[in-house]
Structure formats: structure tokens, C-alpha cells
Chain A
Amino acid sequence: MKSITGINITKSYGKDELVTEVLRGINIEVHDGEFLAIMGKSGAGKSTLLYQLSALDKPTSGEIYIEGKNIADFSETELVNFRLFTLGYIFQDYALIPDLSAEENVLLPLLMRGLDWQTAKTKAQTALTSVGLINRDTNLPSQLSGGEQQRVAIARAVAGKPKIIFADEPTANLDSISGHDIIELLHDLHNKGQTIVMVTHESEYVEYCNRIIYLEDGLIVPEKCRLINPLPNYANTYLTTGSTL
């Protein structure tokens, strides 16, 4: 079952002669329960691809289906609701709301989903417990370390049990110990069946993934793509389909 299907995705910026093509025809599939790493050098288009796949941006051309729905068909309001109920995000610099405590950061999207305060609070506490931060729930982000903030961000992303979590270089701002902790957390989530798409440039963390796709100049480089821990039933598909992995 496919979580995400991207067909011939292109993304370019600028106008006329100053157009920069960042993605040049990406075909990609992400399957349910898969932990996919997107790798590549700086400027290869990794984050841009993640933004397209995660419905934070719209491609210049091509189609993207998430959970079978073409995101181009969504109005802005529908897109916001879709992101709220279906997707979770982890950003490189944590992206917590500085005015809210750790617990409030986690429960905010839950309240938005229509949960009452008490239920949202309980779920937020559960999520914070799962990332080992239950005793820091009243702290503001500024009172937490980088690793702790990223764990709050993970708790926020997972609290609503989204179908897919997108992580944009979640360990880039962390020391190696904290980085490992974060990857372990993502790995645990994946082991519980969570679909995760992660951009990273740190090769030591990819061993936890099912698959790596490698980008160069806006294109997938098949030779550098790897299956690390193939998902059952998909083992033969990836490497035989070129850029349509």
C-alpha cells in the first residue's frame, strides 16, 4: 500500500532566464510503514523534495498523492486540515512555539483536531512520556536543551498519530548523543508501524531506515540508492525501477 506517490515532480524558482530547477522530474513512492531516508549533498534538492511530498509546498509540475489523494485538489483550508489529521512534522530547528510550554506545544494540534482540553492534555502527557520528557512538561522551549526541544517536536508530531511523519534533518542541530537519541525515537516509532520520511545528510543514521534515495542536482541517482532493511513484499521493486522507486 502506497502512502505517497510522486509522479514526475519538478520544482523551479525564479522567472524567465533566472529560473533555477531544483527538482527535475522525480518519481517516487513511499509505502505504508516505510522509513525512507532522502540523502544528498547540500543543494541537491532533498528538503525541497520533502516539502513537496509533505504538502508544505506545491510542485511546479507533476502530481503528488498522499494516502491516495491528489494534494493539488485541496483548497488551502482542506490542506491545513489534511496536514492536521494526516501528517506530522519534525523540523531541523525544532519549530516549537516559544510562548507555549512543552505540553502546550504538544496539545495545540490535538485541540485543533477538536479534542477537549482534558483529553488533549492526557494525550500530550502520553506523548511526552514516550519521549522521556514528562517531567519537563511545564518548561518553555527556551528552558530546554536542543535535544529536549527536538523530542518535544517529535512528541508533537506523533501525539495525533499521523499517517506519515516528515522529518527535515532532525539531528542536524544536535550533538551526536542527542542525535542518536532522536534517531532511536524515530526508529521506535517506525517499529510500531509509523511511516517516516526523513531528510538527512548524516550517513550513520541511515542504518535504521528501510531505504535510502540519493539526490543529485534535482534527480534521483539510482546507483546511490540503497535498500537497507527492505520492507517485506517490496524487496525487489525498489532497485529494478530506476528513479521510480
Chain B
Amino acid sequence: MRDLRIGLFLGLRQIQQASLWTTLLIITVILFTFLNLVALSGILIGIVDGALDQVRSEALGDINILPLENETRIKETERLIDELKTYPEIASFSPRYTGLATIEANYKERHSLSDEPNIIAVNITGIDPIAEKETTELENIVGEGSYFDSTENGYILIGKYNIDRYAKQFGDVFNSLDNVYPGDTVRVTVGQESREFIIKGIIDSKADLVSVGVYIPEREFRRMFNRADYNANQIAIRLKPGYDEKVIRDKIRDSSLASLGKINSFTEDIPKFIIDVRKTFDILGFFTGAIGLIVASITIFIVIFINALSRRRQIGILKAIGITRRTIEFAYITQAIFYAIIGSGIGILITYYILLPYFQQNPIDFPFSKASLSISLNGMFLRSIALVTVTVIAGFVPAWMITKQNTLDSILGRK
């Protein structure tokens, strides 16, 4: 305890009297190491989280109701909807109806049966335009053209990957319609029944799930697909802010509604490979961060070693007048902890007050996601601990090396 107390005292005095530039250099190294640790993995994970957020906000919502096993539709959808309206935690929900259809474009310009038709098979979704607008961001991701007007009939929204000029970058991955623009008329065929729709807009989402979709108003869907029972294929639910999706999911599951459909939280619906990708990015971030940590520890080691070496004589004198090695080592550890805490502290402040708000306002536009920084408090805490630990070791080792030298050799500067 005595060693610790006096080591702390000596360390603080050394910090007070240290060169400002040396102090700034060390703190800067630690700061950038911290940012490297936090920001790189944060962006990597942010790419995945950004993609997931888009799927949540543009397609699935916070809670998703699907048909039970061996069912194609959610049972008693109307009763279920009435029940959902009684949940104060639910902000909105959107029932969706899906079915297979073909869409043909430019068929009026096809002069011969031998001409290849401009046609694709799609999974078409019937939506209530107002409910969907309240539940997802579909309205806001219409790139070309515009969203449905609730009073209109005969319009269709087509996901961009169904359009050749968007899909061709992926080669033959998507079957797509050539030369199709908002305002053009397409023919939608379900079984033997065909109907013309005017393209109202092109959905431009980074979430593939949304961009491969085709949307028409649900009343027209039910008419075309002859669906009179209102039993939906999916209901996306958006919760009011502050409510936990798992808690509300459990609440719904505990009600009689669980017998009508499968109630999943958004997290449950994330495909496993996406979770694996997230973990992979996390590991990648960890490794790159670890390399950063090693570089930082070497830098700090060199700076503190030079500092201790230049004070070798003082260390010898301290030992001569009865100051223990442990006390002197504590003094250097105190300095290292000081640098680490200040560096990490500034890093945390910069992350929370500059980087996070900045990236939230200006996400990085990756091809499949708009990524902002994804940093958990736990992750930040763990990284701070790792940095402080490495810094302490990097501060201790040079002090240990110098203090173990012969006292008189240190005083006289002998090798």
C-alpha cells in the first residue's frame, strides 16, 4: 500500500512535469488506437446492422406474423387484426397478401409470336397503401415515380431488381423487364386472368427482399387472386418507440393469437447467415483492432522506455535513497494508466458526441447497406479495458527493465 501510494505520488508529479509534447503524443497514440478499435469494427458491424435496419424498417417491422406450419395463410386475420388494435404498444401494422404472377411489359410492341416476350415471374404482394406507409418506409424508398395514392386503382410498384437497368449489374441473377419506366403499362397475369397496371414507381431499396418485390393495392390483389377471406400471408407490426420487440412478441404469443399465426420478433427472422456474417465482421474488427493494440503498445513502450531511460539516473538515485523498485514501477504504471484513461476517455467522448451522431446523419453508402457506426456500450467498455491493460503492460515493462539494473550503474550511467 505504501509502495502504491508513493508510486502514485511520484507518477503524478512526473506527469505534471513531463514534456507537453510527449504527453500529447502518447495520448494521441492511445486515442487513435481506441478509435481504430471502436470505429473499424463498428463500421464493419454497422454494415450488417444497417442492412438489418433497412429490412426492419422497409419490410418486416419489429414483429412479424406468418402462417403457422403447414398453413399458407394466417388464420382469422380479421379477428387477429381487431385484437392487434387493442395493444397500446403497437404503433401500426400492415397485412400483406402474396401470390405468384407474371408481369409482361412492352407487349403492345411485340409484333410476332416468335419475338421473345419481355416477361418475368414474380411474387406479387398486395398491400394496404396507408397501413403500409404507417408501418414501413416503402413510401420513402420509391426511387423513380411515386407511391400509391389511396384513391387510385390500377397502379403497381415494381422493385428495382425486376428492372433490367438496375438488375444488369448482377448479371443473370435476376430475371428482369427491359426498358420499363414509371407510367408504362404492364400486364399482370395470375392463372388465366390478366390485368393491366400502370407502373406508379420503382422501389429502390438496398434490401434485396424489398427490391425484388412487386406491390399492388390489396383490394386489387384479392380481386385478381380471388381471395375473399381477408386471410393475409404476413402481417408486419411496428411498435411504438421504447418497447422491446421480444417482450411484446411474448405478450402476443401468450394470447389466443398464437393459435392463428406464427409470431416472430424481427431478430428471430434474421437469417442465420447474416448473424454469422455479423460475427465474422466482429472477429475481423477484433483482429484489426488487436493489431492496432500491438502497434500502440509498442509505441507506448518505446516512448515510456525512452522516458525511463532518460531518467535512469533518477531511478538509481531513488533506489539509493531507499525507494523500492515496486514504488518506482508503480510510478510508471500510474503514468501509463493516466495516458490510457485520458486517451480512451477522449476516444469515448469523440465516439459518442462526434462519430456516432455524424454517421447517423451521414451513413456510409455501401452497395447493400447504409452503414453507420454500430457500437455497444459493452463493446466500448471491453475495448477500453483492453487498451488500458495493454498500456499498463507497455508502461510497466520498460520501468521494470530499468529498475532492475544495478543501482550504482544507474546513478553513474554505466552500462
Residues of A within 8 A of B (CB): 51, 56-57, 76-77, 80-81, 83-85, 89, 91, 95, 97-100, 104, 108-109, 111-114, 140, 156
* Per-position binary interface string of chain B over residues 294-336, scored 1 when its CB falls under 8 Å from any chain A CB and 0 otherwise: 0000000000000000000110011111111101000000000
With A97-B317, A99-B13 as contacts: A109 and B324 at CB distance below 8 Å: no
CA distance A91 to B317 in the complex (A): 9
B411 within 8 A of A: yes
8 Å CB interface, B354-392 against A:
none
Chain B residue contacts of A100, Cβ below 8 A: 10, 13
With A56-B407, A112-B2 as contacts: A85 and B322 at CB distance below 8 Å: yes
CA distance A7 to B5 in the complex (A): 40
Chain B residue contacts of A104, Cβ below 8 A: 13
Chain A residue contacts of B313, Cβ below 8 A: 95
Q: Is the CB of A97 within 8 A of B314?
A: yes
Q: Is the CB of A83 within 8 A of B408?
A: no
CA distance A111 to B408 in the complex (A): 23
Residue among A56, A80, A99 making CB contact with B408, cutoff 8 Å:
A56
Residue among B13, B317, B323, B407 making CB contact with A112, cutoff 8 Å:
B323
CA distance A108 to B9 in the complex (A): 9
The chain A residue with its CB closest to the CB of B12 is A99
Residue among A56, A57, A112 making CB contact with B6, cutoff 8 Å:
A112
Chain A residue contacts of B255, Cβ below 8 A: none
How many residues of B sit at the interface, in one of the four size bands? 20 to 34
Chain A residue contacts of B14, Cβ below 8 A: 99
CA distance A99 to B318 in the complex (A): 12
* Per-position binary interface string of chain B over residues 1-33, scored 1 when its CB falls under 8 Å from any chain A CB and 0 otherwise: 010011001100110110000000000000000
Q: How far is the CB of B201 from chain A (nearest CB, A)?
A: 71
Residue among B13, B323, B408 making CB contact with A109, cutoff 8 Å:
B323
Q: How far is the CB of A111 from chain B (nearest CB, A)?
A: 5
CA distance A98 to B5 in the complex (A): 19
Q: How far is the CB of B313 from chain A (nearest CB, A)?
A: 8
Residue among A98, A99, A109, A114 making CB contact with B2, cutoff 8 Å:
A114
Chain A residue contacts of B2, Cβ below 8 A: 111-112, 114
CA distance A186 to B83 in the complex (A): 97
CA distance A98 to B318 in the complex (A): 12
Chain B residue contacts of A109, Cβ below 8 A: 321-323
29 contacts between A and B (CB under 8 A): A56-B407, A56-B408, A57-B406, A80-B322, A80-B325, A81-B322, A83-B321, A83-B322, A84-B322, A85-B322, A89-B320, A89-B321, A95-B313, A95-B317, A95-B411, A97-B10, A99-B13, A99-B14, A99-B17, A100-B13, A109-B322, A109-B323, A111-B6, A111-B9, A112-B6, A112-B322, A112-B324, A112-B327, A140-B17
CA distance A187 to B322 in the complex (A): 25
Q: How far is the CB of B312 from chain A (nearest CB, A)?
A: 13
Q: How far is the CB of B121 from chain A (nearest CB, A)?
A: 79
Chain A residue contacts of B13, Cβ below 8 A: 99-100, 104
Chain B residue contacts of A85, Cβ below 8 A: 322
Chain A residue contacts of B321, Cβ below 8 A: 83-84, 89, 108-109, 156
Q: Is the CB of B314 within 8 A of A98?
A: yes
Most chain B beta carbons < 10 A, residue from A84, A99, A113: A99
Chain A residue contacts of B406, Cβ below 8 A: 57
Residue among B17, B320, B323 making CB contact with A108, cutoff 8 Å:
B323
9 smallest beta-carbon distances between A and B, as pairs: A84-B322, A99-B17, A99-B13, A95-B317, A57-B408, A56-B408, A83-B322, A109-B321, A99-B14
